[in-house]
Amino acid sequence: MASISSSRKFTLASRASQLAQVQTNIVLASLQEIYPIPPETSDDHQGPTFTTSFMSTAGDKNQSQALYLLGGKALWTKELEVVLKEREVDMLIHSLKDVPTSLPEGCSIGAILKREDPVDSLVVKRGKPWKRLEDLPEGSVVGTSSVRRVAQLRRNFPSLQFLDVRGNLNTRLAKLDAPDGPYAALILAKAGLVRLGMEDRITADLQPPTLYHAVSQGALAIEIRDDDAEALALCRQLTHWETEWMCLAERACLRVLEGGCSVPIGVTSRLDVEAGEHKAGTLTLTGCVTAIAGDLHVEHTLEVRVASAEEAEQVGSRLAKILSETGARKILDDINEDRNRRVIAAEKADQDANVHA
């Protein structure tokens, strides 16, 4: 492992949202636990120091269009990767679920930290008595920006309606609670609510098979430059190998299916670690692909003993091929065609509006 310069200051960067800043501070605290901040009077400090930087990305700036129509790939990472490659910052802190499975040349994932609970949660409008999705009256409007959630929930709860909702967590919760707002409930990632101290808003967790979560949901990742050996040395001290193996398997499945973060691919994984000092265990990985209308659904589970990160990735690739061969490929092709039609229609509507402005 590379030695780390005692005089180097590492800059951690992420999106400017409240959640992204909280997540960056989680990583910062972990690094400072290993390399404590020196007292102001100390003149013999050994080890690196750390600072943070925040910026908006394309996904933050475009709050009017559904994520489904934006395509999903690199929406939350592209601008950050530019400053990383230009050496203005040293580490990017991401929600791993937002990171494309193919990174720009010269960039790589240096660490995957221990995962929060990856499930999605039901959050009901304040003052309403409903405790489960099953309790919502017929025709109730559920808010989510995820086509994965909509597809699966349409399949399981056909009496409900779904409406896009964008913005940071506080904005979305305000839209939910507005007395004249359309939403009866929202579906949100539990990890984000927990990290922001909003567990009290969770009405119920939506466990598989009711709702399979997004690939890598609940996990934080650190992206670094390939040539930065010191950053990699830091990252390896934060990596949680069990989470890493599960997320690598999930991401391999997504990569083979060629899906961005706005397609209805759901997963759940578990690694039963074997006793002993060696790294090995039984990986159980389930993946599903659901048509947006909820009428078509493909699902499969693999249970395989793995003894390396590479073997875990192979499980994900195998699962993707099985899903593809049993109907997932057609579902995803139809979704891409539908998205392209809607994007063209939206662009034409914008052009017509500009002509008549």
Active-site residues, by number, are 98
- Assess contact for 28 and 50: CB atoms under 8 A: yes
**Rounded alpha-carbon distances, angstroms, from residue 184 to 84, 143, 163, 175, 343:** 41, 8, 11, 10, 28
> Which two structure tokens, joined as six digits, stand for 235?
């990252």
Comparing CA positions, the residue from 147, 202, 212, 158 lying closest to residue 176 is 202
Q: How many CB atoms lie within 10 A of CB 340?
A: 12
Q: Rounded to an integer, what distance in angstroms lies between the CA atom of residue 250 and that of residue 266?
A: 9
Residues 6+ apart with CB under 8 A from 157: 133, 134, 136
CB 5 within 8 A of CB 90: no
- Per DSSP, which regions of 261-352 are E strands? 265-273, 281-290, 297-306
How many separate helices (H) and strands (E) can be counted in the chain? 11, 13
The Cα 46–Cα 50 span in angstroms is 13
Distance, CA of 66 to CA of 83 (rounded, Å): 27
The number of angstroms, rounded, from the C-alpha of 111 to the middle of its chain's C-alpha atoms is 15
